[in-house]
Amino acid sequence: MEQEYYVCTGCALLCDDIEIEVADGKISRVNNACLKGVARLKECEKPAECRVDGNNVSMDEAIKEAAGILKNADNPLIFGMGNSTSGAQKKAIGIAKKLNAYIDDTSSFCQGPVIEAILGNRIKTCTLEEVKDYGDVTVYWGADPSNSHPRHLSKYTYFPRGKERQRGWEEDRTAICIDVRKSDTAIICADKFYQIPPQADEELIDALIAALSGKVPKVSFGMGPKKILELANLLKKAKFGTICVGLGLIYSLPDVEPLVRLMEKLNEVSNFHLIPMVGQFNMRGFDHNLHEETGYINRAKFGENGVEHGPQCSVVELLRTKSVDAALVIGSDPMSSLPGSIAKELSGIPVITIDPCVTMTSAKAKVSIASATTGSDSGGTAIRMDGVEVDIKPMINTNNLSDEEILSRIMEAL
């Protein structure tokens, strides 16, 4: 009997070689997935229930209450969707258009600027399969995939054999880590680990650009010109190089321009690509879908005269300035991910959550709607961290509605 494989929705790597065992209608064993994937695909530790004001209700009652809150709000916000399928994301965008609502996602405060530069063709990118087949130099900058995306090195960048990289990490590939601390990934990179102080990333970028331009590089911290020239030389000699950008780099830069400058210089002297180390399995999908609808990847507000966009429409600014009077949170937990001073503002407005598990946000929400877990209970499509669309099929049959079905029901009730 032919083995059936599934896609893991534990992170935006979307590994497609997952094997499962099922007992009594539940996933009893997950093979090939990392610990993050197993945690995502097995049943929640605390499965969500449909609740209004803390009381258990039916799905119909929860949807009716949610629609009523959204209809009566003057300035509703729709947020999250990084753990939703592209179909659900398009439904959420449709609801935002109908309500003239704000809509934003976690890329607003993480990988958004990088994805926007890629979609605008300002930064050269590639697929993970191309890295596997051709990549000889991979730079993890401000990223620790050994913990955030545990199979990244083994499936694509360092350890596997590819079409033109048959000898793998022993002879064919070089992994470089640039970070403020000696992470687990930095340990793997061994003598190709370049430690820098916090907030020194732009300074190192400028020094690398100088070195790649034939000038003597200088930095104010303890990394001498010889060390920087050694790194620049590794990058310059790459036949197929990739920079995998993590939040450690993104949060250190004032904007994406230093990264754009480095990529432009690298591609004058070498062949370099960039892949954002996206966390939630379909965060990049939301950016693609909203960009297709509005030309923007996040921080948008629909209105009678078109779409408003800008930092004033970000979830952080909207909550800080108390500009929204209701929030629909889909597959996200802003109570735990946003700064406490911002997150506390959610407690002052009615919040609706759609999530398969109890979270800090859903526990305090006025309306909590229990959904199926995408990947194990329901399927659809998603955009992997490198921009490749992936089909997801459910692993087991459940009676739980997917977030796309719940959003369709809310739209009907509006």
Q: Is the pLDDT of residue 89 over 70?
A: yes
Position 1 scores a pLDDT of 60
Domain termination residue (choose one: 259, 276, 293): 276
Q: Is the pLDDT of residue 218 over 90?
A: yes
Strands 19-23 and 26-31: antiparallel
**Is there a single domain that holds both residue 164 and residue 69?**
no
- The three-state secondary structure class of 355 is strand
Host domain of residue 131: 111-276
End-to-end CA distance of the chain: 48
pLDDT one-digit tens code per residue, 257-272 = 999 999 999 999 999 9
Q: Is the pLDDT of residue 168 over 80?
A: no
Position 3 scores a pLDDT of 79
Q: Is the pLDDT of residue 388 over 70?
A: yes
**Is there a single domain that holds both residue 351 and residue 259?**
no
**Average pLDDT along the chain:** 95
* Domain CATH code at residue 338: 3.40.50.740
Residue 8 lies in a domain: no
**Is there a single domain that holds both residue 264 and residue 290?**
no
**Is there a single domain that holds both residue 148 and residue 268?**
yes
- Cβ contacts of 90 within 8 Å, gap of 6 or more: 289, 293
**Is there a single domain that holds both residue 132 and residue 216?**
yes
**Is there a single domain that holds both residue 161 and residue 245?**
yes
pLDDT one-digit tens code per residue, 34-71 = 999 998 888 788 899 999 999 999 999 999 999 999 99
pLDDT one-digit tens code per residue, 103-133 = 999 999 889 999 999 999 999 999 999 999 9
**pLDDT band at 252, cuts 50/70/90?**
very high
150 vs 54, 74, 184, 323, CA distance in Å?
37, 43, 10, 39
Position 42 scores a pLDDT of 81
Domain termination residue (choose one: 215, 247, 276): 276
**Is there a single domain that holds both residue 55 and residue 174?**
no
Domain termination residue (choose one: 231, 253, 276): 276
Q: Is the pLDDT of residue 229 over 70?
A: yes
378 vs 78, 153, 314, 321, CA distance in Å?
22, 28, 30, 37
Residue 27 lies in a domain: no
**Is there a single domain that holds both residue 160 and residue 50?**
no
Q: Is the pLDDT of residue 365 over 90?
A: yes
Q: Provide, rounded to the nearest whole percent, the portion of the chain with pLDDT above 90.
A: 89
Name the token pair of 318: 């909207």
**Is there a single domain that holds both residue 247 and residue 183?**
yes
* Domain CATH code at residue 151: 3.40.228.10
The arithmetic mean of pLDDT across residues 231-242, rounded, is 97
pTM of the model: 0.93
**Is there a single domain that holds both residue 288 and residue 175?**
no
Number of domains in the chain: 2
The arithmetic mean of pLDDT across residues 134-138, rounded, is 97
Position 171 scores a pLDDT of 83
